[in-house]
Structure 1
């Protein structure tokens, strides 16, 4: 045995022990001194993938594929082809990825029943089907993958089938059944029965499902479990980065915006050339952090970076436009985003929540009520705690904006309690602002002040400058549950401005001004501009009209 043989033996052992860097170094050194067989090139291709070296993994995988085909080893060649395909697909290179999957399919078409066929079906029929129009078809394919795994005694394939069917059922609203299947799949992961690359896929999919459902507590538990698993598999650049995405999402909910920002920046840096969708989500999360802090220019740059990588920047960008006073742009943005998601209620849920807020600001109560009703229906179907909290918040906001402060109280209290139990301080504080307005409208000024003080304390601790500014602007205690935009319109009206002048000043259309005024009249119980102006003067919302100078005799 020569020195290169020793190097190769040590590299194979390092690979078996999941010491990816050592395996890559040894296999690379061996490849520089001799022509490696396809099986060893396949190990080098895989080690490079674990280390996040996508270009190297693709190049070595291509060589391994050719060698294995030439050696008459179609199953191993197909397995490598699947790995090369995944590299391309994660980078958004769909045509190349599908071509490599086609190569794998061609090699496996004439083979007896084998695990590689099941993994190929999992990618092409189950995972691809989860984003398609017929989730029942994806669920059926997942059941077939699971059955194949059982016939072949392939535990990883069984778990993949359970995961795929579970996610399909979750999206169909069959939450208890779907969660039961995810729990079964994750039990196999926890016992160490699965191939590590597929175990990582199951962890990532389970975290994503919990976040999608708004099950924040379960998402936190699985994120912690994923971090523990990552400690056992070496560097695992891809899976570590995906875990950081979910960790950033959870930090954002928990009000730990500094950690959310750092995790999102790491994702953008580490996964830029490996996983386009995850990097795009990292940029979107950076946009959210900057928006909440009032850093509008930086937020817009982050949203643009997310969009460039294929991530719809909504509803964050729409809410940024709302904060900038561009209500019509915000309404148009969230409306078109909803049009683009006609059959995905879980994807529509955050858009609906944003549309409620934007529509109320635009005095478009029919749209606000419709979006709130859809959000309530989604929360009822999928039973996610965060979805339920958002639905109750939206329902309360709509009732409050419609002059139904008494009816709004119950929904807003439910929402505030739910957000607090979920450890979501920012959302709880936003609900407290609405509660303060409801109590004030009902004449309970003490409770209104307490709710407002709690909101101010939370916004100050978080650094939520836009929310603090909004609260400061509303110190005058708007009557009748008027929104901040309605108060602006009322102030201009009291100064004698026409609808056209008000629209120009606030950068909204005359039609929107008219809607705002209709709401103002209803909430104040008046029927004329003169009467509305009188209320504005009496409540200190507009300076009194100066007395006219005496006319010369």
Structure 2
């Protein structure tokens, strides 16, 4: 056997063991004249795993032709179907329709087999789900499972089970649908399913979890999928919308640098052929920048908007952060109107509406948004919605002066955020917990919660608005009061602030009068309770 013949043998063995880089190296070195239809299909699959997408499309087309020439229409149809899915993922709708149409023609007149099930799941399930017809999708999903069982096709069966779960979720039967999603992903973990189909299952799973804010499931299956992929000798991870969802997870977990980097890469890579993915990626970039107080956040929201993504509720939260309370309130109200009647689309807007209304002192609006969010969380019962609803309810109770009722609710919200790995959201809840403890006279607990929150904010580089001084104190008087609380003498304060002792004494007289105290000890206590510190 010559060297090129040996390369083909090595390529076949490497592909069989899922060592795609080695398979590609040897396929590249082999004589293409010796390739069978199966070799071309294997070569096409292997190059996809190492990121050579154009080669995947070229070789897949050649494999389809070779299967058809060899009178193997089922294999040709499956290859054409795979090419249609790849083109669709790239936003190349015309090519996708062409290949899917070819697949349909190739199976005409053939006895029913797995390829019929795959085509049906894709055309009838995906089409009906996109069109908002979950009942029709559910029927197709169950028929696809029947074909998978009859032909003992583990991949088709798993796709059918997951499709049934997604259809149930879309029809509102979330508690019935989620176990089916899990069952399909368990099949992926078992290693019994083709790796490409495993990637499809993961992408559908993470998208379904994102839609219903099931953060716990989203995190768990993403972590397990990354562990599985780490066992495969290939350089490619699944891209597209599931990559955007992974960036969203990084945002939630406080991995802001990586979230922004990965989202910018996605925005650049997909801007040519999947503008919708690029738009979602730009929204992630905007959120990172808003949370950090980066002035470029507005531009990133504009980039998302220019690509068709509603920039709400982030843009409304940005306006609130910038001090435009009226503009933020108007924006979030219009965002709720734009969300229509879909409770899942409205949920994140309601969460933002609570914060914006509380910042503007509009307690009735905040309470209404929190009540709607609670109703959605009660119906859907997913981890993310429950955490959002709990935090919103606690914030409203606190603003209404019901600190004793707010405290256990905020504690529960904090626990929920921690369990989801959402450190920033947990820290924000800690700030409200501190306010609740302070209202109940527990200054020590309040200080502990604030220290915990500020440590997270410092670690993340989170934006923190400069609070207005309490009780009419000036900025300079706050500086003097903070130093008094630190145990400094008048002379120490004068030296630190580069003012005279007499000026310090005058400031103290004004401070004591404004805050209603008669001693330095009482003033120090006031400073502690009102968070008047040297770093304020």
| Fold shared by both chains (TM-score > 0.5) | yes
How many Å separate the matches in 1 of 2:132 and 2:440? 48
How many Å separate the matches in 2 of 1:269 and 1:235? 23
- Within the alignment, does 1:321 sit opposite 2:319 as a pair? yes
Alignment of 1:358-377 (within 5 A): 358-377=356-375
Structure-2 change in CA distance of 1:413 and 1:146 (3 Å): same
How many Å separate the matches in 2 of 1:278 and 1:212? 15
How many Å separate the matches in 2 of 1:393 and 1:368? 12
- Name the counterpart of 2:506: none
- Within the alignment, does 1:162 sit opposite 2:161 as a pair? yes
1:252-311 Cα distance to aligned partner (Å, 9 max, x none) = 3232323434444555566667876555444332322221111131x2343344445554
Alignment of 1:9-48 (within 5 A): 9-30=9-30, 34=33, 36-48=35-47
Does the CA-based 8 Å contact 2:44-2:59 persist in structure 1? yes
* Stretches of structure 2 lacking an aligned partner (at least 5 in a row): 473-512, 517-536
Does the CA-based 8 Å contact 1:171-1:346 persist in structure 2? no
Does the CA-based 8 Å contact 2:216-2:384 persist in structure 1? no
Higher RCO, 1 vs 2 (CA within 8 Å, ≥6 residues apart): 1
How many Å separate the matches in 1 of 2:336 and 2:101? 34
How many Å separate the matches in 2 of 1:375 and 1:28? 56
How many Å separate the matches in 2 of 1:322 and 1:281? 22
How many Å separate the matches in 2 of 1:8 and 1:294? 56
TM-score by length of 2: 0.77
- Name the counterpart of 1:432: 430
How many Å separate the matches in 1 of 2:468 and 2:216? 35
- Name the counterpart of 2:533: none
- Within the alignment, does 1:73 sit opposite 2:72 as a pair? yes
How many Å separate the matches in 2 of 1:22 and 1:274? 30
- Name the counterpart of 1:290: 289
- Name the counterpart of 1:549: none
Structure-2 change in CA distance of 1:455 and 1:61 (3 Å): same
Deviation of 1:353 after TM superposition, in Å, equals 0.9
- Name the counterpart of 2:173: 174
Deviation of 1:474 after TM superposition, in Å, equals 3.8
Does the CA-based 8 Å contact 1:78-1:103 persist in structure 2? yes
- Within the alignment, does 1:379 sit opposite 2:377 as a pair? yes
Deviation of 1:25 after TM superposition, in Å, equals 4.1
Does the CA-based 8 Å contact 1:166-1:178 persist in structure 2? yes
- Name the counterpart of 1:473: 467
How many Å separate the matches in 2 of 1:473 and 1:188? 53
How many Å separate the matches in 2 of 1:287 and 1:401? 29
Does the CA-based 8 Å contact 2:406-2:436 persist in structure 1? yes
Alignment of 1:100-111 (within 5 A): 100-111=99-110
How many Å separate the matches in 2 of 1:258 and 1:356? 27
Structure-2 change in CA distance of 1:369 and 1:110 (3 Å): farther
How many Å separate the matches in 2 of 1:309 and 1:154? 40
- Name the counterpart of 1:412: 410
Q: Which moved more, 1:343-352 or 1:358-367?
A: 358-367
**Counterpart secondary structure, 1:473:** coil
**Counterpart secondary structure, 2:91:** coil
- Within the alignment, does 1:356 sit opposite 2:367 as a pair? no
Alignment of 1:528-543 (within 5 A): none
Deviation of 1:387 after TM superposition, in Å, equals 1.4
* Stretches of structure 1 lacking an aligned partner (at least 5 in a row): 479-536, 541-553
1:56-102 Cα distance to aligned partner (Å, 9 max, x none) = 32233334334444444322222122222222221223343233222
**Counterpart secondary structure, 1:7:** helix
**Counterpart secondary structure, 2:121:** helix
Task: Calculate the aligned-residue CA RMSD, in Å.
Answer: 3.3
Does the CA-based 8 Å contact 2:363-2:396 persist in structure 1? yes
Alignment of 1:153-552 (within 5 A): 153-235=152-234, 237-239=236-238, 245-265=244-264, 267-268=266-267, 279-297=278-296, 299-308=297-306, 310-342=308-340, 344-402=342-400, 404-440=402-438, 448-465=446-463, 467=464, 469=465, 472-476=466-470
Does the CA-based 8 Å contact 1:355-1:371 persist in structure 2? yes
**Counterpart secondary structure, 2:470:** coil
Q: Which moved more, 1:282-291 or 1:269-278?
A: 269-278
- Within the alignment, does 1:145 sit opposite 2:144 as a pair? yes
Structure-2 change in CA distance of 1:229 and 1:278 (3 Å): farther
- Name the counterpart of 1:135: 134
TM-score by length of 1: 0.75
How many Å separate the matches in 1 of 2:198 and 2:239? 13
Deviation of 1:113 after TM superposition, in Å, equals 0.6
